[in-house]
Amino acid sequence: MQVREMFELGGQTALITGGSRGLGLQMAEALGEMGCRVVITARKADELAAAAQHLQARGIEVTTIVSDLQRAEAVKPLVDETLAACGRIDILVNNAGATWGAPAEDYPDEAWHKVMNLNVNAPFFLAREVGKRSMIPAQRGKIINIASVAGLKGSLGHMQAIAYNTSKAAAINFTRALAAEWGKYNINVNAICPGFFPSKMTAGLLDTAGQAVIDRTPLHRLGDESDLKGAVVFLASAASRHVTGQHLAIDGGASIA
């Protein structure tokens, strides 16, 4: 196989959670540009409609499904609808996520459960359903969990998000554990750990501490709308067929400085 062919995704279907905006939409665009049919899901129908229009303008085949993955009972209908529309799921990108800032000693129960439900429970329940109903029968598949460099360390000062850091560490080891168990089915499971990218989730922090973040980053920049695209295509494609259980930090070097 020629190198260029390794990255082609024609004829495949990718399900991307939290795909209506931000990093999820960027990754949907990348996979679609490489020939993938993309299924994007999120809670808000209007944001999904705008994302679909954006993708279709680029010649990408897209299906939208409104789904709230905070609710465990939403997982099976999401997979039902995806399989009904597309027949199979070759690539799953677990991107939907939540955060909540508060000191650990005052952290609300509600906040802890909200973050864990979306960042830990939903990726497992969705991977379990997609694996059982599509990838394991096909004896192939790619699962990409969007973790974070926050899962590699604690945080000081302006970052008081203990549930987020904990959940993203869980996502990294969930990636390792599932990769070890499902390798026998020819399913690759990997994680991407973004650093700071401008997004709705990071807007408040970057407004107050953006320059400090840049100053601590060896490449002296934030991530932009292109910086996850190559990584998600690599991990979704045959180019990464011998890579599993790994996490890739995309953070301008901030996690090593």
Q: Which is catalytic among the residues 93, 118, 135, 164?
A: 164
For residue 250, give the amino acid letter.
Answer: I
Q: Are 186 and 140 contacting, i.e. CB atoms less than 8 angstroms apart?
A: yes
Rg of the chain (C-alpha set): 17
Write the CA distances from 234 to 22, 182, 192, 218, 240, integer angstroms.
19, 19, 11, 24, 6
C-alpha to C-alpha distance for 87 and 140, rounded to whole angstroms? 15
Question: Long-range pairs for 136-139 at CB < 8 Å and ≥24 separation?
Answer: 136/182, 136/185, 136/187, 138/88, 138/90, 139/185, 139/186
Question: Would residue 185 show up in a list of annotated catalytic residues for this protein?
Answer: no
- 208 CB burial (10 A radius; 0-12, 13-18, 19+): exposed
For residue 190, give the amino acid letter.
Answer: N
Residues identified as active-site: 164
